[in-house]
Amino acid sequence: MTQELLDQALVEEATKKSGLIWVRGISVPAPSGPDDEVPAQALWHVWHDGAACLVGDGPGEQPLPGLIDGGDAVVTVRSKDKGGRLVSWSGTVVELAEHTPAWEAAVAELKGKRLNAPDGEAMTERWARECRVLRLEPTGATAELPQGSLAERPLPTPATTRRPVPAALPRLLLKKRKRR
């Protein structure tokens, strides 16, 4: 019993303090095959009322792949200071119906943490129309942290990085002004 309470406290404190969690959704088993696993994805969240709350799957919001209502998820929490893995826990995905008391409470918390929203105060109505608000409720099971770096190749994207700095640019920037 004591170990369960310590695990619960660790999950809650670590997840509360971390602004970013890694979530791997495990979809409900298909009748014709085994469970499908989706790779872990970094997601911003807030801890509210005993669960990690997320918003996404809408224009301008984070994608929530593999997170379906009633499904399971594995959450790995990182340290906000050092970025290392602190704890990994299992949870159940609960999709909140819009404008219910639970949805309103979760959205009020999420709204305070959402950075650079394109529509400011109108974002909650956009979330109700176009997005999903989820709760990841811990099941009480913590997992052993994986060993190694878990580094993987980035997914293909149309985004590009900057090109190399032109060779003449440093000379132009550091050129001293001539005195008259």
Q: Which residue has the higher pLDDT, 163 or 81?
A: 81
Domains defined for the chain, CATH in brackets: 2-146 (2.30.110.10)
Contacts of 170 (CB under 8 A, 6+ apart): none
Q: What is the CA radius of gyration of the chain?
A: 21
Task: Note the pLDDT tens digit of each residue in 83-109.
Answer: 788 899 999 999 999 999 999 999 999
Task: Note the pLDDT tens digit of each residue in 116-160.
Answer: 888 888 899 999 999 999 999 999 878 777 677 767 777 676 766
H helices of 83-160, in order, are 101-113, 123-130
In 3D, which of 38, 16, 15, 6 has the Cα closest to residue 25? 38
Task: Note the pLDDT tens digit of each residue in 33-67.
Answer: 454 456 788 999 999 999 999 999 888 889 998 89
- The answer to whether the CB of 132 falls within 8 A of the CB of 95 is yes
